[in-house]
Amino acid sequence: MSGTSERRHVGREPFGARLRAAMDRVGPLCLGVDPHPGLLQSWGLPDTPAGLEAFSAAALEAAAGGSDGPLVAALKPQVALYERHGSAGLAALETFLAQAREAGVLTIADAKRGDIGSTMAGYASAWLDDASPLAADAVTLSPYLGFESLRPAFEAAARTGRGVFVLALTSNPEGASVQHVGAEQEQGSVASRIVAAAAAENAAHVGEDERELGPVGLVVGATVAERAHALGLDLAGVRGALLAPGFGAQGGTAAGMREGFGPAWPAVLATSSRGILAAGPSVSRLAEQLKRNLADLG
Catalytic residue, from 101, 112, 274, 292: name it. Answer: 112
Residue 247 backbone phi and psi in degrees, to 5: -75, 130
Q: Give CA–CA dist 177/149, Å, rounded.
A: 21
Q: Would residue 291 show up in a list of annotated catalytic residues for this protein? A: no
Question: Is the distance from CB of 228 to CB of 196 less than 8 angstroms?
Answer: no
Question: Is the distance from CB of 47 to CB of 54 less than 8 angstroms?
Answer: no
The set of residues, in sequence order, having a beta carbon less than 8 Å from that of 166 and lying 6+ positions away, is: 140, 141, 142, 143, 147, 150, 194, 198, 216, 217, 218, 219
Residue 167, H or E segment: strand 163-169
- Contacts made by residues 174-183, CB under 8 angstroms, sequence distance 24+: 175/221, 178/144, 179/231, 180/231, 183/230, 183/231, 183/232
The set of residues, in sequence order, having a beta carbon less than 8 Å from that of 118 and lying 6+ positions away, is: none
What amino acid positions are annotated as catalytic residues?
112
